[in-house]
Every structure is written in structure tokens, then in C-alpha cells.
A = this chain, B = another copy of it.
Amino acid sequence: MKTPPDADEPRWLTEDEQRSWQAYVQANMLLEDHLDRQLQRDAGMPHVYYGLLVKLSWAPRHRMRMTELAEAAKITRSRLSHAVARMEKDGWVRREDCPDDKRGQNAVLTDKGLKVLQDTAPGHVTAVRTAIFDRLTPEQVEQFGAVCQIIADGLQPAGADLPWLR
């Protein structure tokens, strides 16, 4: 007799899935480590902090609400609070009361922060490029991006920030 489907038993990963999963976990560890080390050495900040400065530099008037920034960077508010506190000490970012909402805070990129970012960016993109994009064909870049987008979309409820659509 065949083993009947068991509701308690999950569907394990196939061999292909296992292989892909292990490859991802490894790539991830090595990559995070590599980039963190590079940025820590050259700029004295972890990779996440660099990402925050980038988001701010993209924002109009170089400022964003804390919650907005946290959501954009996919980190918790708490983590952001600590991060901003740290970067405020370095003078890279400044906090500013929000005029509309007395509870709110804006994180503002300072001139010094912008300069750090500009000085750091070339080394960082080079690291990213040599670690990843110089090794991939354009098709692979596209495939990789598509898969990552699917994963990301799956993990943030559609319209999590648009509750009126749900």
C-alpha cells in the first residue's frame, strides 16, 4: 500500500529546491558579510545604514518621515530609531519635528551625510558589481530580479500600505 497523504507532514523541498535554497543561503551569508565588511572598513557603517542614506538622498528635500523610511528600507521602526540615533551622533542625519503631525519626526540627510554617501558610493557599487553583476548575463540579471521581486511581493501583503484596497 502506498503511504497516504499525511496532513501533519509538510511538503518537503525537492532536490532542486534544496539546492537552490542552500545556494541562496550561502550567497546571502557571503554577500552580507562581504558588503558589511567593505562598508565598515571604508565608511564605518553597516550595509543597512548605507541603504538608509541612499533612500534619504533620493527623497525630495532629502528628508522622510521615520515610518516611511522604515517601510521603504523594510526594517522595523525600532531598528530605524536606533540607527538614526547612531547616525545623528556622526552628524550624517538630523531629526526634525514634523509640522503637520506633532507625533511625527523627519529624518533629514545632512550635508556631511551626503558627502559621506558620495565618497562611499563608488567603492560600494564596485563591490556590488564585482560580486554580482559582472558575473551575470543580462538574462540572468533579469531573472534574478524577477524572482526576488516575487519573493518580496509575497512577503508584504499586497497594499499593506493601502488598507482601503483590501
Interface on A for B, CB 8 Å cutoff? Answer: 8-13, 16-17, 19-21, 23-34, 51, 73-75, 122-123, 125-126, 128-133, 135-136, 138, 140-152, 154-156
Contacts and interface: CB of A to CB of B under 8 A. Distances in A.
A141 B20 contact: yes
B138 A16 contact: yes
A152 B8 CA distance: 35
29 contacts: A8-B122, A10-B123, A10-B125, A11-B125, A11-B129, A12-B125, A16-B138, A20-B144, A20-B145, A20-B148, A23-B145, A23-B148, A23-B152, A24-B144, A24-B148, A27-B151, A27-B152, A27-B155, A28-B32, A29-B73, A29-B74, A30-B151, A30-B155, A30-B156, A31-B155, A131-B151, A131-B154, A131-B155, A132-B151
- Of A11, A23, A29, A135, chain B has the most CB atoms within 10 Å of the CB of A23
A25 B128 CA distance: 12
Contacts of A123: 10
Nearest to A140: B147
A10 B127 CA distance: 10
A13 B131 contact: no
Contacts of A11: 125-126, 129
Contacts of A151: 27, 30-31, 131-132, 135
A141 B28 CA distance: 16
B75 A29 contact: yes
B122 A26 contact: no
Contact of A147 (B26, B74, B130, B144): B144
